Chain A
């Protein structure tokens, strides 16, 4: 994914996340992390520090735009940012040409790549939001539903955003 394309996508997703947080009342069992896709789509050669910083800044932007408690999204997306490179290394295909970016890794591998990061991000967010993990039942349901929905959303965003020419 080119830098320009990535920047435009980032801006759009931040705005969409802000609108979602401000104007749409979702269930208490559902937390949407559209901006996580921006972290997932960062170039694989980026190290953990740039990924973490990007996650932190994006999370903070979402917190401010979404009128939430500042720091919640930032903490969650920083945690995802620190693990991004390691998880990419584990889930990307072995072939060198397919490891250049998310465009070339294929949907299946992308889903495998996004799942643990979605889970990390949600776990940190729910942990902070519910100040622990209480009540457990509600938190687990929230985590489960949000995980499924966010993974699907990441897959959809992947399908929409990837550079098809490059994928071929």
Chain B
């Protein structure tokens, strides 16, 4: 108690001292130009140091907000990109008639749990059903395909990572426009394998692989990685080693991709399967 009183007394002394010195300095600055200039200079130096420090601290604490804003901006840009790509593919149709909204919706999410050291790696993201997430939606970043939604809870969703030996995605070699199947071989989180590339395909190491768009899950053109090796399989196809752009061990911000016409496409595919069954 005594120590606390002593502390309060020191504090009051300090405040009174600062108060009296401030009054004295104000008097000086009011009555002498030279002293005023020097005082203002000294005060601005001190305040600049403090405001600089305070600015850095507040910037640090607002990083989360900045990140959210950037993620939202990124979503807008992706929509715009999709719209422009759709417009490019329908060049014959005037822009005024292209009233169709973008094909894909993007929902920004944060990875809350991630694994890269198993054969069946999964991720948990902080968005769920209440945010519009449903099973079989794609998960991507601007640096690659991440996986697809395995199951969606109310607030969180489970994602089957592309680093799962059973997970497959369709990819395109940009140089030759050849399609293949991307499937992880379980060896390292930095690489994956692209199967079924015909032997006559012309390609070279360093060629980029992107998502093909022949999937109901991932939008086309998402970069995946670059070719770093090849292996002839069965004498007719190459297996290409792909160095992934995305570092899965540092994955944080992802986007869940929701295709607007997924129901229609699923219905079509179901019809086709039913017809196939009847014929057989």
Any chain B CB within 8 A of the CB of A66? no
Quote the shortest CB–CB distance from B65 to chain A (angstroms). Answer: 42
Any chain B CB within 8 A of the CB of A4? no
**A70–B28 touching, CB < 8 Å:** yes
Instruction: Compute how far the CA of A39 lies from the CA of B30 in the bound complex, rounded to whole angstroms.
Output: 26
Main SS of chain B's interface residues?
helix
Residues of A within 8 A of B37 (CB): 131
* 1/0 contact string of A66-94 vs chain B (CB within 8 Å): 00011110110011001000000000000
Residues of A within 8 A of B62 (CB): none
**A78–B31 touching, CB < 8 Å:** no
**B20–A48 touching, CB < 8 Å:** no
Given A52-B20, A79-B21, A131-B38: A72 and B28 interface contact (C-beta under 8 Å): yes
**A52–B16 touching, CB < 8 Å:** yes
**B13–A70 touching, CB < 8 Å:** no
**B38–A71 touching, CB < 8 Å:** no
Instruction: Compute how far the CA of A119 lies from the CA of B138 in the bound complex, rounded to whole angstroms.
Output: 75
Residues of B within 8 A of A71 (CB): 23-28, 31
Any chain A CB within 8 A of the CB of B214? no
State which residues 1-53 of B face A: CB under 8 Å.
9, 12-13, 16-17, 20-21, 23-28, 30-32, 34-35, 37-39
Given A79-B21, A128-B35, A131-B35: A74 and B16 interface contact (C-beta under 8 Å): no
**A78–B34 touching, CB < 8 Å:** no
Residues of B within 8 A of A63 (CB): 27
Which of A70, A79, A132 contacts B27, CB < 8 Å? Answer: A70
Closest residue on chain A to residue B37 by CB atoms: A131
Residues of A within 8 A of B21 (CB): 75, 78-79
Closest residue on chain A to residue B29 by CB atoms: A71
Quote the shortest CB–CB distance from A51 to chain B (angstroms). Answer: 10
Any chain B CB within 8 A of the CB of A53? yes
Instruction: Compute how far the CA of A79 lies from the CA of B149 in the bound complex, rounded to whole angstroms.
Output: 69
Residues of A within 8 A of B (CB): 47-49, 52-53, 56, 59-60, 63, 69-72, 74-75, 78-79, 82, 128, 131-132
Can you give 16 A-B contacts (C-beta < 8 A)? A49-B12, A49-B16, A52-B16, A53-B20, A56-B20, A56-B24, A59-B24, A69-B31, A69-B35, A70-B27, A71-B23, A71-B25, A74-B24, A75-B21, A79-B17, A131-B39
